[in-house]
Amino acid sequence: MRAVYFSAALLLAASATLLSQSPKVMMPEDLFRRNIGTREQLNKQFPPHKIVGNVYYVGSESLGSFYIVTPAGNILINSDYEATVPVIKDSVEKLGFHFSDTKILLGSHAHADHMEGDATVKELTGAKLMAMAEDIPALEKITPGGKPHVVDRVLHDGDEVTLGGTTLVAHLTPGHTRGCTTWTTRIPDAGKSYNVVINCSMGVNPGYQLVNNKDVPQIADEYMRTFKIMRSLPCDIPLGSHPAMYNMMEKYARIGKSAANPFIDPEGFQKEIDINEQAFTLRRAEQMKTAAGK
């Protein structure tokens, strides 16, 4: 009998240990705060740096912007707020490049914190703006100072954008916005080649209605489709529209401390999908329960 009690005690202790070690459940509000950071971080310059090959970080502490350098000109992904554009420009120049060499402007999704600065970047560089068709109605409403949001090329799921030997593929990953665009590319570096994924966003913002959404009745289905797509993408180096999505600060601190590139993190990519899908599932269940009680 003592052996039975002893085994039960061990089982309870082991369960308590596992629970204490399990990752904290993050709800949409937690992920939103993690991604946005503080008001000061939105436009505070983060040290620009090389990520891999010809891909560089030129964003702020909480808004992810990426610069891809090619012999035929350069590609900027995410102009961020209009007020962030000078920060991005300075970061590009600190890296030794000319902002005026920006030929193509892309974005993650039609929210002001990622694409409000598009018109200003176009004015400064003459870059051609390309955006997913499903996001264009929302982009047309983002007009800082009355500047029209002019899209030069309308993209669709699976379209390719190529410049100077680098090709990016646009993946429609809706939910966060109707045209949320995750970018993938394969980048050579030091004799190897890496799959890079720039995550648009899988986040359910506070206030998003996943059940009985009159404007987007299929929003929950779109999120579930996106999680499936994201899991299918080969990824060595995950990036994102907010640097917290891939733990940029922690990885940046490890640059040069070993021969390994700290941005190589396929496990982190899968974890990011997991925590966002869990937050989506929990919020949807809450809303379904509320709807059933009416």
One-letter amino acid of 85: V
* Structural domains for the chain: 26-292 (3.60.15.10)
Statement: residue 13 has pLDDT above 90 = no
Mean pLDDT in residue range 106-120? 98
- 160, 167 Cβ separation under 8 angstroms: yes
Mean pLDDT in residue range 120-133? 98
pTM greater than 0.85 (yes/no): yes
Read off the pLDDT of residues 271-294 as tens digits, 9 standing for 90 and up: 999 999 999 999 999 999 999 986
Identify the three-state secondary structure at position 140: coil
Residue with tokens 């990520």: 51
Tokens of 2: 């003592």
- pLDDT reported for residue 294: 63
One-letter amino acid of 117: G
- pLDDT reported for residue 61: 98
Beta strands (DSSP E) in the chain are 49-52, 55-57, 66-70, 73-77, 102-106, 128-132, 153-155, 160-163, 166-172, 181-189, 192-199, 237-240
Please give the backbone phi and psi of residue 34, each rounded to the nearest 5 degrees, phi first. -60, -45
The CA dihedral of 233, 234, 240, 243, to the nearest 10 degrees, is 150
Statement: residue 225 has pLDDT above 50 = yes
- 152, 130 Cβ separation under 8 angstroms: yes
- pLDDT reported for residue 101: 98
Statement: residue 70 has pLDDT above 70 = yes
Q: In 10 A of CB 154, how many CB atoms?
A: 13
Statement: residue 3 has pLDDT above 90 = no
Can you tell me the distance from the alpha carbon of 220 to that of 211, in angstroms, rounded to the nearest whole number? 7
Identify the three-state secondary structure at position 70: strand
One-letter amino acid of 209: Q
- 195, 203 Cβ separation under 8 angstroms: no
Share above pLDDT 70 across residues of the chain, in percent, rounded to a whole number: 92
29 phi-psi bin (left φ>0, alpha ψ -120 to 50, beta other): alpha
- pLDDT reported for residue 23: 57
Read off the pLDDT of residues 151-191 as tens digits, 9 standing for 90 and up: 999 999 999 999 999 999 999 999 999 999 999 999 999 99
The rounded mean pLDDT for the chain is 93
Mean pLDDT in residue range 109-114? 98
Can you tell me the distance from the alpha carbon of 257 to that of 193, in angstroms, rounded to the nearest whole number? 22
Residue with tokens 């490049």: 97
- Write out the H or E segment, with its range, that includes residue 36: helix 28-36
Q: How far from chain centre, in Å, is Cα 210?
A: 20
